[in-house]
Amino acid sequence: QVQLVESGGGLVQPGGSLRLSCVASGLSLDLDYYPIGWFRQAPGKEREGVSCISRMGTYYADSVKGRFTIPRDNAKNTVYLQMNSLNPEDTAVYSCAVPKYAGPFCYQESDNYHYWGQGTQVTVSS
């Protein structure tokens, strides 16, 4: 059974940093073979694709370019979301997701992802 577990959320002041973790288990192949997406959803807003990493490269939403990075540690089956220069607009529940099948490309749309973590709350406030 595939499981994704996020951690690392919390309360941070504007301008601060957080690192989210997404640990995957139960995949039929090594995590390296799958694109991993990070999404966020703020109250009253639609889910937004934040970032993705795959064997072919990375994707960042315009709203986070230059502030967020998405490193991965294949030995730990973990993908991170390093968030710097946070602002109140980044406040949301952040979730990681994996498609049902392995593949080399990132997907920006959430419909392409099958497995989701439970989410972790990030609140940016002074």
Q: Does residue 69 surpass a pLDDT of 90?
A: yes
Provide the pLDDT for residue 28: 80
Tokens matching residue 70 = 């998405």
Q: What is the pLDDT of residue 96?
A: 97
b/e 62-83 (16+ beta carbons within 10 angstroms → b) = eebeeebbbebeeeebbbbbeb
Query: Is the pLDDT score of 58 beyond 90?
Result: yes
Tell me what the pLDDT averaged over the chain comes to: 95
* Whether the predicted pLDDT of 32 surpasses 90: no
pLDDT interval class at 30 (50, 70, 90)? confident
